[in-house]
A and B are shown apart, each in its own frame.
Chain A
Amino acid sequence: MSFLSLALAYAGFTALCLAMERHHEQVFQARRVPPRRRRALRIAGWLLLAASPVPCILAEGWGYGTVLWCGVLTAAVLPLALLLPYAPRAAALLGPVMLPLAALLAVLRA
């Protein structure tokens, strides 16, 4: 379940980061982010981030789940920030790849 949290957080951070010019340029080679894409990325990012604590808290309860989620946030965003300058496309793709995998795993386990 916490893997699903991690995947949600990673995808959320990726979306938020692609909405920024500097990182949009790293991945898509174009500094300007089309306004509609920016809005879509921002909304998706915040929704994914808002959803990310849910699996942790469902699995582990409020106290423990919240602590776990804070750790998951760090574990999600650190690799993203460190990967971006070296392999921007892979960093951006990792979220969309990980998310369905994690969802599938969660469903299988439930």
Chain B
Amino acid sequence: MSQVPLERKVLSENDRIAAQLRGRFAQEGVLCLNLISSPGSGKTTLLERTLEAFSANQRVAVLTGDIQTENDAARLRRFGFPVRQITTGGTCHLDARMIEHALAEWRPGAFDLLFIENVGNLVCPASYDLGEAAKIVVLSVTEGEDKPLKYPAIFLKSKLLVLSKTDLLPYVPFNIAAAEDNARRINPAIEIVKLSCLTGAGLDSWQQWIAERRRGLEVRAELVT
């Protein structure tokens, strides 16, 4: 019997494609954000409010993943920006190759802000790098405040936690301070935005978070040239 050391990642093929995508986004000055949550936390609604606030000359695009149906793409297309649905046909997450395929039909330079709405699932999407600048985890106040402890991988890997549906706080036993504390126990560096897509409260902080990251890209581009 002989031992052959390998010492490589299981998902090295996915990571290879994700690295190519990341390189391409950097070259084209694209900010790519990967939104992850359990089903029904309000990813699509958050994207609707987000697209609605952009003026038509903004170069924004969306890839939206679901197991079945084109419903989310139909909802998001109303705002006039390019949107593509990725139907995974059963797969519980998006992987880098799906993103590569979906982007192939768009010409380079068509957008400088790309939202990826992952399949509703707090577990599997955490394992797959899509070449994004940041993973963003959305947690609604109708879920448990202990979700960060139950699903630590995605909270560890996310740069931002969006606590959504805050308009429902008076009606649900959700301890928002405990949710924030739990998220920081898993990932002390995680940033947190609290918002309601229904009332609009907190959407400005979300828009500002995105705007700061877009400015960060511009500054880096100037430093390079």
Q: Do A and B come from one complex?
A: no
Residues on B close to A: CB < 8 A? none
Residues on A close to B: CB < 8 A? none
